[in-house]
Every structure is written in structure tokens, then in C-alpha cells.
Structure 1
Amino acid sequence: MNALQQLVADYLSDNPGESYSSIARRGGLPRQTVWAIAKRESSRQTPHPDTIDGLARGMNMPEARVRAAAGMAAGYPGAVSSTISSERGQLIAEALNELDEERLEILARRARFLLAEQRDEQGDS
């Protein structure tokens, strides 16, 4: 199972009552397209950007997350998606793509504070 197939499978298992049809309907995609992405044996091509956008809408998740899974499935792991494997790390990466400028600045300030605090603690040891 490739990364995009796993993303769809995880979404369906985490959301009882959902189906390829419901994802397709919300995403404005043909049901057959969603099914093929989820079940096709292997694909070395990433889906069309409109399809990635539709999948993201259909599964109510950031487009960047679907795009990263599609790239990994096609054998093109992105720098962020391949190095950040924890759920927290992925959440932070998604925030970079989804938050507005004001919230990004708040996140950056908090990160600077936490890094400085950690450096101080390590210096005291």
C-alpha cells in the first residue's frame, strides 16, 4: 500500500460511515477516481493537482498533506514529508501551509521562546 492509499484507508477507518462515494461527492470528483487512487496496484504518477485538491476537500484535510502523500506514493518524497514522521511534526508542517500570517508569527515567536528556553536549560546542565 502506498502513502496515498494509506492516507485514504486511514481516513476511512477513522471515519465510520464514510466511503469512496462520500469523499468523491464532497471533493467534486468521480467515485471511480477516488476508488482507483485507493485501490490501484501502483502508480508512478502523482494525481492531477485538481484531483489532489478534491481529495483534500473530500477528506477535510490540508491539501499539503494529500500532496505530500501523493508525491511519496509516486516515489518523490518531499523534504518535509520524508523527514517529519511524527504526528506533531506533520501538524507543524501543515500549520506552515495553512495558517495566516498573523498566526504564523505567533507560532514563530513561541518556537523562538521554546528553543531559547531549551538552550538555557542545556547550558545549566
Structure 2
Amino acid sequence: MSTLIHEAGEVFVLSPTKPGRLRWVFSDVDDARHVADERLASILGTLRSAGVPAMGEVGADMPLVAIGDAIRRLHPDHIVCAVGRAKHRDWQLMERTEREYGVPMTLFELDPAGHPAGSHAGG
């Protein structure tokens, strides 16, 4: 597990619901919320079993909105973002978050088993 996480004073996990566009337009987000709840429980369980005391919540539907809400409320000094397979939009999200909020981010790509495949530190 990342040194960033083990050395953090506090760890807060945010799991956006991320419904598909069509589901979002029709406010059909129940399945996406269920998936986000399961993802959050899995991540918190992994962190806690590694001895990392962590808290978390399911956030807004759109990742940038969810991150912005959490930044305004928690005032983090660093954000670690884990994604299944980094896509162009994930890098754009990281760059936009750093630009808009001035909070450095580290983006981890996860392999299919959920282990870090690589990372990119921003800031």
C-alpha cells in the first residue's frame, strides 16, 4: 500500500456514484449508488485491514463535483485517486482539480485485481 496513505494524518475515501449519462439524465442512479456503496466498503475494509484508520462516504454523481465538495469540507493537503484503468478523462480530472483547487493529486492506476499498477504524482 502506498507510503502516502500510511503516512497520512487522516484518510478519507470518496466514492462517486458515476452513473452512465443516460441513467443520470433520467435520475436512475440507484444501481450506481449501490455499486459506489460496495466500492466504498471494499476500499475501507482493505485500508482498515492494513492498519490504516479511514473514513469515507459516497459522493456526488460527477467525480469533479464530488471531489470539489470534499475539498471544500475537508481542506486536504493531498489527494490520492485510484482508477481502474486511467483514461484521458482521468488525467484531465486530475489536472483540473489541481488547477481549480490547488491541491496536489497522485493518480494510481489499478490492475484488474485492484492493486496499484502505476502512479503519477502531480503538484
TM-score, structure 2 normalization: 0.27
The structure with more helix, counted as a fraction of residues = 1
The structure with more strand, counted as a fraction of residues = 2
Larger Rg: 1
